[in-house]
């Protein structure tokens, strides 16, 4: 069987694939486009089933792609440039089903909650940080960049396949976490906040991190069990949200 070859960006399949970088069309198709060899490998290794793989010639003999020969289409370098969201595309893309996890019941374990984190790089780094710290669930609250945004996908570097990602309103979730006996920590320097080291590590907690410019919403700050801060010894006014989350998460999961 000869593999299909596409050399024109005007091909209907390519036009449809290109749309899968936009949230509106992702929802309509129930799929999204993943770019880059490392991310495609991570998806395959995590058991994802690509609906279609578009690859330039240099990837066609890769061992991981052999089980997906029937789902693979060869594309020209020009088509790869058209599909790519990056400056220097590697030349491989996968169309994956749009699947968002739901929170497991009963609520239990460790959670990172993102409150209106808008920068895709920060969002992706926060997911990677949670993955590295062993936190299994990251919740995207209102105002947070979409998990299937191409920039977020790249910044997550495959960690989205290692942790559960859920999009849900945070106020109700915080209420439910507290009912389940899981302490909920905010991250902000205020009169009632504690230095993060004063809270003992635990296998049950939720940490909320807030918007890059405005911090956590006042409603969430008021709903937490305790708000934590990182004492700053130098003259910097604050830490990047992903750095701050890393410091606190690695302490809480120690």
Each residue of 40-65: pLDDT tens digit? 999 999 999 999 999 999 999 999 99
Q: pLDDT (tens digit, 9 = 90+) per residue, 59-89?
A: 999 999 999 999 999 999 999 999 999 989 9
Residue 154: inside a domain: yes
pLDDT, mean over the chain: 96
Model pLDDT, residue 137: 98
Which CATH number is 225's domain given? 3.40.1280.10
Q: The tokens of 97 are what? A: 């089903």
Residues 92 and 158 in one domain: no
In the chain, pLDDT over 70 holds for what percent of residues? 100
Instruction: In whole angstroms, give the CA distance from residue 227 to residue 229.
Output: 7
Q: How confident is the model at residue 100 (pLDDT cuts 50, 70, 90)?
A: confident
Q: How confident is the model at residue 111 (pLDDT cuts 50, 70, 90)?
A: very high
Domain boundary among 47, 66, 97: 97
Residue 244: inside a domain: yes
Model pLDDT, residue 134: 98
Instruction: In whole angstroms, give the CA distance from residue 1 to residue 72.
Output: 12
Residues 43 and 122 in one domain: no
Q: The tokens of 134 are what? A: 């062993």
Residues 127 and 249 in one domain: yes
Q: What is the pTM of this model?
A: 0.94
Q: What is the rounded average pLDDT of the residues 120-146?
A: 98
Instruction: In whole angstroms, give the CA distance from residue 84 to residue 207.
Output: 35
Domain boundary among 63, 97, 131: 97
For residues 55, 26, 161, 166, the Cα torsion angle rounded to the nearest 10 degrees is 170
Domain residues for the domain of 215 are 110-253
Q: pLDDT (tens digit, 9 = 90+) per residue, 216-227?
A: 999 999 999 999
């Amino acid at each position: 069987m000869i593999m299909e070859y596409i050399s024109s960006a005007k091909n209907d399949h390519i036009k449809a694939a290109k749309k899968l970088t936009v949230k509106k069309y992702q929802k309509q198709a129930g799929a999204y486009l993943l770019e880059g060899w490392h991310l495609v490998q991570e998806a395959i290794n995590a058991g994802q089933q690509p609906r279609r793989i578009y690859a330039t010639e240099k990837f066609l003999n890769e061992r991981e792609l052999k089980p997906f020969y029937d789902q693979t289409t060869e594309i020209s370098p020009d088509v790869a440039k058209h599909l790519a969201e990056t400056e220097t595309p590697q030349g491989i893309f996968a169309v994956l089903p749009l699947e968002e996890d739901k929170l497991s019941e009963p609520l239990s374990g460790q959670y990172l909650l993102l409150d209106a984190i808008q920068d895709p790089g920060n969002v992706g780094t926060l997911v990677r940080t949670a993955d590295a710290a062993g936190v299994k669930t990251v919740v995207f609250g209102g105002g947070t960049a979409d998990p299937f945004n191409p920039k977020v996908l790249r910044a997550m570097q495959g960690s989205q396949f290692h942790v559960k990602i859920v999009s849900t309103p945070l106020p109700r979730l915080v209420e439910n976490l507290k009912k389940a006996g899981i302490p909920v920590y905010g991250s902000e320097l205020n009169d009632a906040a504690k230095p993060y080291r004063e809270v003992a590590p635990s296998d049950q907690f939720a940490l909320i991190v807030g918007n890059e410019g405005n911090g956590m919403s006042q409603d969430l700050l008021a709903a937490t069990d305790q708000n934590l801060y990182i004492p700053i010894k130098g003259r910097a006014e604050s830490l990047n949200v992903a750095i701050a989350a890393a410091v606190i998460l690695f302490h809480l999961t120690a």
